[in-house]
Structures are given as C-alpha cells and as structure tokens.
Amino acid sequence: MSPSISPLLSRQRISVSSEGELVKLAIGSSEIKMPYETAIQLSQWLRVRGKEAKRFAGDSSRHWSAIAILDGLK
C-alpha cells in the first residue's frame, strides 16, 4: 500500500489522560483504558520503534538543535 493513500496517515484527534490508576488513550473515536504499567510499556515500545524508523529515514539529528555557551552567566 502506498503511504500517500494510507488511511493510517490521516489526521486524527489524539489525547492521553489519567483516571486514577488507569491511563486513557483516545485516537479519533476509539478509546482504550489501561493500567499505568501497560502505558509505560507501550510508551517504551513506541519510543524504540520511533527511533528505528527515524534511523531508517536517515534522520540523524538530535533532540537539541544547538548548545548554548554559558560563559559569563552569573
């Protein structure tokens, strides 16, 4: 399937909130509630796979785009 016509790329409303010990993830009209342990595991999986995809795309940039020189600050 061509990425340009994939329905997965359409813009969706995404939100994450907490309800007591549960984390609620809403994407479009779908919603899932999960224990916080599962949410942490999911976030780790997404981070790792996101880094893999970034490398595959050839993006070697870092989070920080510049480093400030702090000499003279008091």
What the block records as the tokens of 60 is: 């070697």
Spatial separation of the C-alpha atoms in residues 30 and 14, rounded to whole Å: 10
pTM assigned to the model: 0.63
What the block records as the tokens of 39 is: 């949410």
| E strand or H helix that includes residue 53 | helix 36-56
What local confidence, expressed as pLDDT, does residue 12 receive?
84
Of 37, 42, 35, nearest to 19 (Cα)?
35
User: Tens of pLDDT along 20-59?
Assistant: 999 999 999 999 999 999 999 999 999 999 999 988 888 8
